[in-house]
Structure 1
Amino acid sequence: MTDAPAAPWHILGAGAMGTLFAHRLEAAGVPVILVGREASSRRMHTLRAAAGDSERTFTAEGPASRGPVHRLLVTVKAPAVVSAVTALAHRLAPDAVVVLLANGRGYREALAPCLGARPLYRAVTSEGAYRESEAVTVHAGVGRTRIGNPDGEPAPPRWFAAGPGRLPRVAWDAAIEQALWEKLAVNCVINGITALHGCRNGALLTEPDARRDCDALCLETVAALRALGWPQLAAALPRTVADVLRATAGNRSSMLADRLAGRETEIDYINGFLVARCAAQGGRLPRHAALLERVRALQPPIAGRDADGSHSA
């Protein structure tokens, strides 16, 4: 596997989360190339945070650019993951590292044709960021990021120490599969309800209708986690959801942001994945299935999928 410190990280998706990690990696001395929808040799991006603005100019490529990709961080929204990675697959080196930072589950199977035997590493983050303009990203909330191999890899590989491992608040997680299920379950309870009610996260604690829907969906998610073999996550879920809602009370979920912007939401990769996984075992999730259809009905017809945009916990 490529270990040369000078090997750049290609970041697929020049949206909020992609820009945030591009700034952080470059500040740590890791070379970065942004891969967006359009080619541009150099592009200025400003990161606005509580500590002050940081301006950095990144090499920016379009998907048709040439040259091998040895390290790839995928930060596009869930509906665009498969098409975006597939478009870049011909450039992936045989030993390429691919890390996916996206909401939802079900990507391994969909990406198998273009990844081949390469492992698909996953990242889970509680960082919050949104695009204020085409050139300005706001770091709205400081969080922690965990990276690991869902197929199992106890110790961090060498590429991790030479790249993401240099960053504060980024850690290797040998139990990333559990972290992914926890993240999925929380998103299943929160995101769709906020999109449906058009409210910020905190309303699920204070608004009677939103809270009732949230509590009922949480109970069904607890039952689903138990049926799928995650009893400890199930037992902790109500408290976990309440903690997230309190910590992010003023935030708009990424699904609400997508709905308000007229973009395709990630509902099929979150609640839709859970409904399908339970159905495969003969189970039914009527509340999740109903929410899935209601959020789908709110989406306008989408001619093309937007690969950029905000991404938050």
Structure 2
Amino acid sequence: MNWVIVGQGALGSLLAVKLQQQQQTVAVLTRANAPAEPRWLDQQCYQFSAITPAELLCSQQPSTVVAAVKAYQLDALLKQLAELPTQHQLLLSYNGMLDNEAQRLPPNCLHWVTTHGAYRDAQQLVHAGAGESWLGWQQPQLKPVPAELITTLSAALPPCHWQPEIQRQRWQKLAINCLINPFTVIHNCLNGELLGLGLEAEMLQLAGEISALAGRLDGIDLLPEQLVTAAMDVATRTAANRSSMLSDVRAGRRTEIDFLNGFVARQSAQLGLTASANQLLWQQLS
């Protein structure tokens, strides 16, 4: 298979390296004809060819395009790829959710939800926590199961599961990010260091608000206690990981708080639900 990875963020770069280790053909979509930077993992250097958006749109070679990007980058990227030929397959991976997603996302894209932890230190990659991944269509009723895609992703970053109800998995991932990422910024700590801070009660309130919103918006039943347990499990398995939000704060970049706790607060307010805990974190970190 041919793969095009959008940009060279931590997760996208990790996938690019892992795919290359599986003898897959990998290119990096760069801006303004910039070359793709090398990436180091486990003391080995990996080089990638670059492809521009114009070259991708003109390519007749079928490729899987993976956009593991910040939520606030999606609109510009989707506009750029609006004319993506049908022989290419688009995978989206981003933290949080967008307002009015059904109108903003292409119906024939796939969501890639993963709990693998990674961060970047210059050109050095750190796979800070082994997790698992799920794949599903934005509109699941329209498409068959992409078996080859799942097999390849499972070999590169195992395990990868097909999830026909991917929205449920996305809500669970959103909850985990809402329960972990803001606290790593507030306490300036790695994921695993949250475990000893006695945050369970605060997390349970956040989870309760998220569960209520998921039920109202999408009819998805989530148990707050299970969301807290899942967040603690992820924090344990990614104990050495620096959350993406903490990395953004340290680098002086915009965070994704608007699409995590901010999303929960905004959507809850529109529906007349109370989300004071998520509102407080959103205000604190905005």
TM-score norm. by structure 2 comes to 0.84
Task: Write the distance in 1 (CA, Å) between the matches of 2:145 and 2:126.
Answer: 30
Match of 1:187 among 170, 177, 202: 177
Paired letter, 1:261: A
1:1-150 mapped onto 2 (5 Å cutoff):
5=1, 8-40=2-34, 43-48=37-42, 53-63=43-53, 65=55, 67-68=58-59, 70-90=63-83, 92-106=84-98, 108-109=101-102, 111-112=104-105, 115=106, 118-133=107-122, 135-150=123-138
1:251 partner SS: coil
| Alpha carbons of structure 1 residues 194 and 211: separation in structure 2 relative to 1, 3 Å | farther
1:252 partner SS: coil
> Does 1:200 pair with 2:193?
no
| Alpha carbons of structure 1 residues 239 and 140: separation in structure 2 relative to 1, 3 Å | closer
Task: Write the distance in 2 (CA, Å) between the matches of 1:186 and 1:42.
Answer: 32
Percentage identity across paired residues of the two chains:
31
| Alpha carbons of structure 1 residues 159 and 110: separation in structure 2 relative to 1, 3 Å | farther
Task: Write the distance in 2 (CA, Å) between the matches of 1:146 and 1:279.
Answer: 30
Task: Write the distance in 2 (CA, Å) between the matches of 1:184 and 1:47.
Answer: 28
Moved more, 173-182 or 272-281: 272-281
Paired letter, 2:110: Y
Task: Write the distance in 2 (CA, Å) between the matches of 1:254 and 1:148.
Answer: 23
Paired letter, 1:14: Q
CA deviation string 1:83-123 (max 9, x = no partner):
12322334x103431101111112744644xx4xx512101
1:55 partner SS: strand
CA deviation string 1:204-224 (max 9, x = no partner):
33235x555434433433444
1:294 partner SS: helix
| Alpha carbons of structure 1 residues 65 and 56: separation in structure 2 relative to 1, 3 Å | same
CA deviation string 1:122-148 (max 9, x = no partner):
011121211121x32222222222111
Task: Write the distance in 2 (CA, Å) between the matches of 1:30 and 1:205.
Answer: 38
Segments of structure 2 that go 5 or more residues without pairing to the other structure are: none
Segments of structure 1 that go 5 or more residues without pairing to the other structure are: 297-313
> Does 1:170 pair with 2:160?
yes
Task: Write the distance in 1 (CA, Å) between the matches of 2:164 and 2:63.
Answer: 22
CA deviation string 1:20-75 (max 9, x = no partner):
11112222232111013353456533222xxxx33332111344545337421001
Match of 2:275 among 273, 280, 285: 285
1:200-239 mapped onto 2 (5 Å cutoff):
200-208=190-198, 213-228=202-217, 229-239=219-229
Offset at residue 155 of structure 1 (A):
5.0
| Alpha carbons of structure 1 residues 54 and 174: separation in structure 2 relative to 1, 3 Å | farther
Q: CA RMSD in A?
A: 2.8
> Does 1:254 pair with 2:244?
yes
| Alpha carbons of structure 1 residues 151 and 191: separation in structure 2 relative to 1, 3 Å | same
Offset at residue 237 of structure 1 (A):
1.7
Offset at residue 260 of structure 1 (A):
1.6
Offset at residue 165 of structure 1 (A):
5.1
CA deviation string 1:165-191 (max 9, x = no partner):
553422322232211111111111221
| Alpha carbons of structure 1 residues 218 and 205: separation in structure 2 relative to 1, 3 Å | farther
Aligned residues: 279
1:122 partner SS: strand
- In structure 2, the residue matched to 1:300 is none
Paired letter, 1:101: S
Paired letter, 2:121: E
Task: Write the distance in 1 (CA, Å) between the matches of 2:177 and 2:138.
Answer: 19
| Alpha carbons of structure 1 residues 243 and 158: separation in structure 2 relative to 1, 3 Å | closer
Moved more, 142-151 or 12-21: 142-151
